Structure 1
């Protein structure tokens, strides 16, 4: 589904082609009507939706490219969703606090290290259990240090189904961000939103985990790892 800057780009294009539409970033009836007129003129299926065929036709006419988004995380405990220039579109609270000790292989537990990853989002519902909550983002880390919600201490084993239905405990929209064994934890409703953004774009989104980050005018202009 198109959002924000993508919609404005299409609206601007339609205006340039002579289809009268307000450039406001809102995919409303006016924009859908202009898209239908464009589709009819181009001999496309007329449905008012900028699907793959319509998008490809627009690209042919003007060379419009899809905006590729990226994710950033650093130890100020924020996750950022940006466009491919670093412009911050959305940010969420997160925590990389860890439970000390060693893992099953005898390695000291550590948070997801600074580095480059590829993110894939999953809406998990109740399926991954109380420790992970309702959304899970696979980072590809070799030790399974990923991004998720939940918190096993917030819900007992006997109350999983009940708490999931009632959206409380480990399944509350904004549950307490308990320490993990190395993963990044987000509020359930936030990780769900991020999962949807990732999957809307076909997954495989670049994830930058950084030691420092520099932001100016709501844009990430530099980071170190």
Structure 2
């Protein structure tokens, strides 16, 4: 109907939002953990900074490559299913129409109405109807490998840059507590922002991001301290 505007749904951004949160979280946690581990092993401030920069570059490339390969595999699976559905529509349209109608019956429509809906949607765009309602694939949530790779790499760089900036600015004597404290603050901010953008509870989002990040940093610092003592 004219005048009806499309509603905003958060799932429209689920692809890049997931990659952004994952990249930023990994950037903060892995880089801060690396910094704390190297610092705990009694390394110099310049060595800690070099290790952090190397971790940033390696992590960003790894995140981009990993996201691209992972999401490409998902996209390949989706395209294979769509190609199979296209072939089945071309070779056995009647069975596919009945299959689509059966889906609507299971969702609560009576048989006659379900058949009418299936017929009308098939007449408009049969492949789109089957892709969405049979396969569960839509434009809003379909895989985009390049987008996921770029967003993940950029967000990793931003996340990793925060603890690196802290190392560069603070005196070496207070490096460990300041990096740990600021990194936890960054994780709190990330958890809250991600929860807000995803429509989830703020407290829950902050807790699950911050707790696991703190655990990772503590474990890495412990490893660095043990090696530092051994050396």
- TM-score when normalising by structure 1: 0.23
User: Whose RCO is larger (CA < 8 A, sep 6+)?
Assistant: 2
Name whichever structure is richer in helix by fraction. Answer: 2
Larger CA Rg, structure 1 vs 2: 2
Name whichever structure is richer in strand by fraction. Answer: 1
